[in-house]
Amino acid sequence: MGSPGARAGGVSAEPAAPSEGGGGEERRLGGSPHAAAANAAVLALTRAARSFTLYDPANRVVRTLISDYRDKIEKVLSGFGSLVLEVHPFELLLGKEIVYVEKDRERSLAFRLFRDGVRQIAFQPGASWTELLTLLQILSIRFSGVRQQEDDLVTLLRKADFAHISTRAIEGFVPEEEDAEPPLEGGGAGHAQRQRREPPGEWDVPLPLFRETVPLRHRVVPPALVEELRGEESAESLPVEAVQAVVEVLGGAPPDERALAFALEVRDFLLVERRVGLVLDLLTAAGRALAQDPAGASRFLASYLDLPTLKVLLAPDSRVPAAQLVQLLADAPIETQSLLLDLLTEETDGARAEMLHTIVAAAFRRTPEQLAERFLRAQGPAGLTLYRLLVEVDPGTALRHVENAAQRPDPKLQLEALAQLATVPVGLETARVLRRLLDSPDADVRLAALPVTARGGERAFPLLRAYAEKRAEAMTDQEAEAVGQALAQASARSALGLFDAWLAVRSGWLGRGARVSALLPLQLASVAGLRLIRGPQAAALLERLARGGHALVAPVAANALRGGSVRRG
């Protein structure tokens, strides 16, 4: 921090006193959606600033943390507009809602801002990535703990000359020491001189002088002991010892917020070092320590299994067995389940899509309605992915939302809806959905909807008849054949009557050349249906087509009479 000196800028109101009680910054704060988004953005900023200082910025995990910071800031700015944060000694406030609190001075972003005189920091929509990255670099300097006599935080922020990020600072002086020594008991200096103050018993006083002397003897340390000593601080042993330290700290009952914050710090270190196995070991140890506190365990899991952590665990090169991840994430809190769904919808065809699908299916098997709610909000290809997952997790819940799936313009999703409709009897609600699917602009959807509709029997026959006569001029040969078969399957008796009406014979000029007057698609539909019905009446109608049907249909009808295929050509 800079030396004492005056600072320009407006004078802010006195900040509110920090709230009582501890609490790590990873707590979920703020009740409104705006405050929740601001909380996520500030946490992403602090985490990125610390990692930006401690580790190589080219590290994959550090890049992920920086990308997460960018996404969270842009999300809150695009979704809610300006983000104006009031700076208190240990808290950041959005209006009257606390969006960040951290009492540990070494970790607290609020304390570092407040100590240097910043009383407000505001982000405006349109902030560029260059501005956000510059702010991250400035804050990382303060997180490093390096005191720079020339430029303090306020000076660095003003030199940056941001266009969409502004700060408000106070005028005044900052003491050289963060903690002033308390006054002596009893007041004045004279009283202090009269009091004899003995150090406490555990005080580290200088060693007494010993009159005895002992000659120094040099002994060569064996190489094995030297290697063992070096191994205690090696790159291989340090991550293991960090996990052991967390296990010891969490051994207390119950673990406090500082212990959990320490576990998150170690997790970040392990992620940067790509020690995925130890990340899982740490999580397992924390789960055992929090076994008696389900609510605390859920909060810790939601903080521990954030998006960067999940991406590392699920990376193709992490080599974590799918079964282990399924067991680990099956009881994940709803925040983690939501992140898993985000990854699944983003990487539908990615290398880890299959593993994600298995994990998410296991996680939502007991809460299918939450998955259904996510499906109802999804747009585009994500809707298809989520509906297929819902079908796998709970077909009954998927069936309750089949109408919504049928209304989407995605043909693949409509086909999934048809597959669900094929598993239940055709009723009034089902018929309404089928009518919508029969009007689909996609030919494959219409073809698939015809046999499903035919399962409705006599009640579905009017719907199929209306479909056939509406599309009589536009049907392809394949569609006409499917229509005829669906009519025959729905009701053979009604189909015979309909085919008889369609195949009415009209005499030619001067009573010669009697021909069937129906359109070609309807004639072909009749052939397909009659071949399924058979019987004398069906044979008579086929004979009528063989004698007076369309030139392309007559041989098909004759072939059907002989038991052959109904297809033309």
Count the alpha carbons within 13 Å of 29 in the hemisphere toward its beta carbon: 23
Residue 354: closest CA among 314, 406, 409 = 314
Q: What is the mean pLDDT of residues 171-200?
A: 48
Cα end-to-end span (Å), the chain: 89
The answer to whether the beta carbons of residues 73 and 92 sit under 8 Å apart is: no
The closest alpha carbon to 374, from 407, 420, 342, 331, belongs to: 342
pLDDT value of position 176: 47
Contacts of 9 (CB under 8 A, 6+ apart): 117, 154, 167, 168, 169, 170, 171
State yes or no: pLDDT of 138 exceeds 70.
yes
Model confidence at 356, pLDDT cuts 50, 70, 90, reads confident
* Contact present, 97 and 62 (Cβ < 8 Å): no
CA 204 to CA 314: how far, in whole Å?
50
pLDDT at 490: 93
* Residue 313 · residue 325 · CB < 8 Å: yes
Give the pLDDT confidence score for residue 329 in this predicted structure: 78
Kindly indicate the confidence band of residue 24, based on its pLDDT and cuts at 50, 70 and 90. Answer: very low
Cβ atoms of 356 and 384 within 8 Å: the answer is no
Q: How far apart (Å, rounded) are the C-alpha atoms in residues 496 and 516?
A: 16
The answer to whether the peptide bond before residue 254 is cis (omega within 30 degrees of 0) is yes
pLDDT at 253: 58
Answer whether residue 198 shows pLDDT above 70. no
391 or 296, greater pLDDT: 391
Q: In DSSP terms, which residues pair with 169 in a beta bridge? A: 118
Q: What angle do CA 78, 82, 87 make, to 5 degrees?
A: 130
**pTM for the complete prediction?**
0.58
What pLDDT, on the 0 to 100 scale, is given for residue 86?
A: 94
Taken in order 112, 114, 117, 122, the sign of the CA dihedral is positive
- The whole-chain average pLDDT of the chain stands at 79
- Among 20-34, 43-57, 435-449, 503-517, name the one with the lowest average pLDDT: 20-34
Taking residues 24-40, what's their average pLDDT?
71
Q: What is the mean pLDDT of residues 115-131?
A: 91
Question: Between residues 1 and 167, which one has the greater pLDDT?
Answer: 167
Backbone angles phi, psi at 374, to 5 degrees: -65, -40
83-87 and 118-123 strand pairing = antiparallel
Q: Compute, in degrees rounded to 10, the torsion defined by CA atoms 218, 224, 226, 228.
A: -140
Dihedral angle of Cα 226, 231, 234, 235, to the nearest 10 degrees: 150
What is the structure's pLDDT at 6?
A: 34
Distance in angstroms (rounded) separating the CA atoms of residues 276 and 285: 14
What per-residue string of b and e applies to 215-252 under the rule 16 or more CB within 10 Å gives b? eeeeeeeeeeeeeeeeeeeeeeeebeebbeebbebbee
What type of residue sits at position 268?
D
User: Can you give the pLDDT at residue 9?
Assistant: 34
Task: Please say whether the beta carbons of 362 and 326 come within 8 A.
Answer: yes
pLDDT for residue 363 is more than 70: yes
| Cα dihedral 536/541/546/551 (nearest 10) | -160
* CB-based contacts of 153, cutoff 8 Å, min separation 6: 1, 112, 113, 116, 117, 118, 138, 141, 142
**283-292, 407-416, 463-472, 491-500, range with the lowest pLDDT:** 283-292
pLDDT band at 414 (very low <50, low <70, confident <90, very high): very high
pLDDT of 1 > 80? The answer is no
Structure tokens at 324: 């282990």
Q: Mean pLDDT over residues 15-40, rounded? A: 59
Residue 555: enclosing H or E segment and its boundaries?
A: helix 554-561
pLDDT at residue 564 greater than cutoff 60? no
Higher-confidence residue of 161 and 453: namely 453
Which is more confidently placed, 172 or 252?
252
State the Cα–Cα distance between residues 460 and 437, nearest whole angstrom. Answer: 14
Region 126-154: mean pLDDT is 73
Instruction: Report CA dihedral (94, 98, 99, 103) to the nearest 10 degrees.
Output: 130
| Per-residue pLDDT at 557 exceeds 70 | yes
* pLDDT band at 351; cut points 50, 70, 90: low
Using CA atoms, how far residue 211 sits from 208, 214, 216, 274, 374, in Å, is 10, 10, 15, 55, 80
In 196-306, where does DSSP find H-type helix? 223-231, 237-249, 257-272, 276-289, 294-304
Alpha-carbon 137 to chain mean position: 28
In terms of pLDDT, which residue wins out, 175 or 470?
A: 470
CB-based contact 422:455 (threshold 8 Å)? yes
Q: Dihedrals φ, ψ of 456, to 5°?
A: -75, -5
Q: Is the dihedral of CA 433, 438, 441, 443 positive or negative?
A: positive
Domain coordinates of the chain in residue numbers? Answer: 33-169, 456-569
User: If phi over 0 gives left and psi between -120 and 50 gives alpha, with beta otherwise, what is residue 172?
Assistant: left
204 band by pLDDT with thresholds 50, 70 and 90: low
**pLDDT score at 137:** 85
Cα 76 to Cα 109: distance, rounded to the nearest angstrom:
19
* Measured CA angle at 50 (ends 48, 52), to 5 deg: 65
CB burial of residue 287 (10 Å; 0-12, 13-18, 19+):
middle
